[in-house]
Amino acid sequence: MSSHPNDTDKKWILESLAEAKLAGIDVPIGAVIVHDGKVIARGHNERETTQDPTAHAEIIAIREAAKTFGTWRLKGCTVYTSLEPCPMCAEALIQARVDRVVFGAYDPASGACGTVFNLFVEGRIYPIPQLTCGVLEDECKQIIVDFFRLKPKAIRQ
């Protein structure tokens, strides 16, 4: 696990934040998948919009990338996401065989890359992606804080 981002990591995390801003009524989380320096897939939360509990930013981006590649194996890809992946998304990233995961804000509620859970442990039969954490953490955290501060309490469940 690394917390030393480079300029490229910051660039793509900003791209994931731009994607997060498209979430509308959903919690603003965005993800982009990069291969050979180009975005090949993107996603933002769409659970409320689609009424699909699996419509997380990372899952949407993984599905798009698999269609683009014509395979579920996303070797050579880096996933940039504005929030630490939850257990569902973290496992999907491992199963998709991505090489690297970079995230912005830590998720104290359900982060599965070491904050609450840690699915990225050595010794599993699957290759574990390299992990870079806390890239532009303040910016990534602020968009979520603002969303919940402004969202009516009745809708927060």
> Of the listed 15, 19, 46, 58, which one is catalytic?
58
Report how far residue 101's alpha carbon sits from residue 117's, in angstroms, rounded to the nearest whole number: 16
- The CA radius of gyration of the chain, in Å to the nearest whole number, is 14
- Asked if 58 is an active-site residue, the reply is yes
Cα–Cα distance for residue pair 70/62, rounded to 1 Å:
12
* Residues 105, 10, 50, 119, CA torsion sign: negative
Give catalytic residues, as residue numbers: 58
